[in-house]
Chain A
Amino acid sequence: MKIKRFPGGLHPPEHKSTAARAIEPCSLPDELVIPLAQHIGAPAEPCVVIGDTVAKGQVIAQPRGFVSVPIHASSSGVVTAVEPRLHPMGRPLPAIVIKPDGRDAWPDGLEGGMNPLLVDPLTLPPSRLRDMVRNAGVVGLGGATFPTHVKLSPPGGKKINTLILNGVECEPYLTADHRLMLEEPERILAGIDILRRILGVERVCIGIEENKPDAIAVMRDACAQRDIEVIALKVMYPQGAEKQLIFAVTGRQTPSGGLPMDVGVVVQNVGTAAAVADAIIHGRPLVERIATITGPALVEPKNLRIRIGTSLRHLVAECGGLREEVVKVIMGGPMMGHTQLSLDVPAIRGTSGLLLLDKNAVATRSEGPCIRCARCVSVCPARLLPTTISAYARRDMIAEAERFNALDCIECGCCAYTCPARIPLVQSIRQVKGAILAKRRLS
């Protein structure tokens, strides 16, 4: 069988040294800083005040609007502040600070969840299931943090026939989804059953990169009794990007500017599926996630199950501390992650990994002129001319950049990764995208 892939892309060194490390629990930190903006859409509205005692899993902020989800306390304790704190986005943003009481107690003495479901979830109506997903605060855990209930509510007229589970994890260094598939396939499958029920789709596929043969085998085994295809995909970054994954699996090109549902597809990360299962079956809201804490500067890289709101400093300590001087702290993977100014920033729902790079791992070369080598063109998965867009962007020629489809850029980083002249292509394209959108809003 031809191994499936998309056009463009490249294969950076994988650095997945944590692939063989089982997921470990993370100790309770002294303080949990839980931002109100952890998802795409309107930030949540706090519903607790300083001094309130909260149980684990209790709602501490309510959603505002449809594209928004509630936020929950990730451990039991006392609210000590509701104030702006440094957010992974790089500036102080409103957050609820909780001092854990150390009991890590769910309400009413319930174990491991709040509201275990006593009936078969597949007998419940889809609308009810969707509400439960939303109330549990489930968002896309691959990093995009788009509220899951919104993706599960296709507008009337859009027929969804395929559900794709994203187990690709194409970012170098990250192994959280890999470990989840190996260790907790039942959680993922329970989530898939529920997602399938909500969407009423015929075809369900799980896409996994070929570099994880053990995960492919485990998932195939687990799916033996179910009508689910496990598809091995070529190891090619960014195979896990939504539109690229849809193309590799179904051969459908999501129209430029469109959504996966325009081609009848919904994509969910495997971690999100597991969170859906927790939400429905155990009534357990999204208060923790699995993240890979890694990088050459760290003593002992690990895959940790972390409470939302745990500071990066605590995570580093949990992994034996630093052995090299850190130059860059990156939340997420090395290709698309965001650098952090400080370790005093909380891990949030979208934190798939924490990467600590020392000076050897940070490229320091100055930029030269474009030699028109066309490498950026051949790797661009969006099939753009990165060199041209970037050249226009840097001259503030916004209309020209728009004409060369700057808005179709998915910011995957392939172009800048491969550029011998070391031109910060993504940076300039990202800036011009912002300028184009701002101009559109004005007119």
Chain B
Amino acid sequence: MTEQYYLSSSPHMHSGATTDKVMRDVIYALLPACLTAVWFFGLAALTTLLLCVASCLVAEAACLKLQGRAQSTLADGSAVLTGLLLALNLPAAAPWWLTVLGGAVAIVIGKQVYGGLGYNPFNPALVARVVLLISFPIQMTSWTAPLASASGVDAVTMATPLGEWKTAVMLTSKLPAVQPADYLNYLTGNMAGCLGEVSAVAVLIGAAYLFWRRIITWHIPLTFVVTVAVLTGIFWLVDPTRYPDPLLHVLTGGLLLGAFFMATDMVTSPVSSTGMIIFGFGCGLITVLIRLFGGYPEGVSFAILLMNAATPLIDRYTPPRKFGAVGEVVR
């Protein structure tokens, strides 16, 4: 025996997929949303995006160093992705320190304390968003009008459509009037809101890319959006003067960004298709409850975080039905 060959367990072929490529694909899918954010909110948006990503990378590097782990995982793209997602969940007017703090919270409290990528039970970007929202409610809800800088005016404050509705109903028990033209603005993103929330079109373009690359499946986003549409539709049919129509619910706020990019976060959502459907439904239900009856105008982040907490339980009770569990099936 002269040569000795490499012994290994089958399979001896691999699809070529890597964690880095998965992360990179999600980052690419977020680019349309980032670009529209910069278009509508100008330099402020760009600064927030860059600062947030930088903060996440620095926090990740520091954590890896403290734990004595290889810095190579910095390149897997997961910290960049968390940074982008968090930035897209911040208002354009967020002060720089809030952004930097958010990035650190996302990585340290949202991810690394649990052991890093793959072990965090909650979506890190959402953990940071909620921590910031509770700690700095004023800064986190100071919305600016889009295209303000383009028109030469300094940042003009403006309410989000959902916020406007909530305030109006609280004060007058009546919905503010919505013009048909407003829907076009909701679609393109010409409204107040977090950087990534505003443009439904940009989010959907990114989502289409994720589907095409098979990074996400329909189960979570579709169930999430349909649940919100159906439940809000019922209330709207019952009392259209008090409850906004389902289209407004779907197009405004963070629903689409949340449904396609955050509820689908692989690490924190169930692995079986049944589990994903339950997860999507739960997200939708909680979102509607908070939007219609809670104190906050928007409930997507809370809903996803709560369902993140339920994920281990869902996984436990929704294993796929193993092949051969029945004698015969008729197709």
Contact = CB atoms under 8 A, between A and B. Distances in A.
Interface residues of A, number: 76
Contacts of A338: 10
B7 A339 contact: yes
Given A263-B328, A418-B15, A426 B118 contact: no
B46 interface: no
B5 A377 contact: no
B324 A411 contact: no
B10 A413 contact: yes
B17 A369 contact: no
B98 to A, nearest CB: 29
Given A420-B17, A420-B18, A357 B12 contact: yes
A413 B14 CA distance: 9
Given A371-B117, A383-B323, A408-B324, A334 B13 contact: yes
Contacts of B8: 328, 339
A344 B1 CA distance: 7
A371 B323 contact: no
A427 B9 contact: yes
Contacts of B268: 372
A231 interface: no
A416 B16 CA distance: 11
B3 A343 contact: yes
B324 A243 contact: yes
A345 B211 CA distance: 47
B19 A368 contact: yes
B73 interface: yes
B329 interface: yes
Interface in B13-29: 13-19, 21-22
Given A337-B12, A357-B12, A426-B11, A253 B19 contact: no
A342 B117 contact: no
Contacts of A340: 5
A369 B117 contact: yes
B155 interface: no
B329 A256 contact: no
A251 B5 contact: no
Nearest to B327: A255
A383 B322 contact: yes
Contacts of A408: 322-324
A426 B22 contact: no
B262 to A, nearest CB: 15
B271 A417 contact: no
Contacts of A378: 217, 273
Contacts of A421: 19, 118
Interface string B113-139: 000111100000000000000000000
A335 B10 contact: yes
A50 B6 CA distance: 34
A115 interface: no
A426 B269 CA distance: 23
Contacts of A368: 19, 73, 76, 117-118
B308 to A, nearest CB: 12
Contacts of B321: 383
Contact of B3 (A263, A342, A370): A342
A374 B266 contact: yes
Contacts of B119: 369
Interface string A366-382: 00111111110110111
Given A328-B5, A370-B118, A411-B10, A417 B320 contact: no
B272 interface: yes
B229 to A, nearest CB: 25
A411 B191 CA distance: 53
Contacts of B117: 368-369, 371
Contact of A387 (B21, B217, B271): B271
Nearest to A252: B328
B312 to A, nearest CB: 11
Interface in B293-331: 315, 319-331
A159 interface: no
B322 A382 contact: yes
B67 interface: no
Contact of B267 (A172, A335, A372, A388): A372
A336 B272 contact: no
A51 interface: no
A341 B7 contact: yes
Interface in A314-330: 326-330
A235 B237 CA distance: 49
A362 interface: yes
A430 B329 CA distance: 28
Q: Among the interface residues A6, A86, A339, A369, which one has the most CB atoms of the partner chain B within 10 A?
A: A369
Contact of A377 (B18, B320, B326): B320
Contacts of B269: 372
Contacts of B328: 251-253, 263
A25 interface: no
Contact of B21 (A10, A253, A420): A420
A257 B315 CA distance: 24
A362 B217 CA distance: 30
A424 B118 contact: no
A112 interface: no
Contacts of A430: 9
A426 B4 CA distance: 24
A369 B1 CA distance: 38
Interface of A: 6-8, 10, 12-13, 86, 90, 172, 243, 247, 251-258, 263, 326-330, 334-344, 355, 357, 362-363, 365, 368-375, 377-378, 380-385, 387-388, 404-405, 408, 411, 413-414, 416-422, 424, 426-427, 430
5 contacts: A337-B12, A363-B16, A365-B18, A372-B271, A420-B22
Which 6 pairs, one residue from A and one from B, show the smallest C-beta to C-beta distance?
A: A413-B11, A369-B118, A427-B9, A256-B324, A420-B17, A363-B14
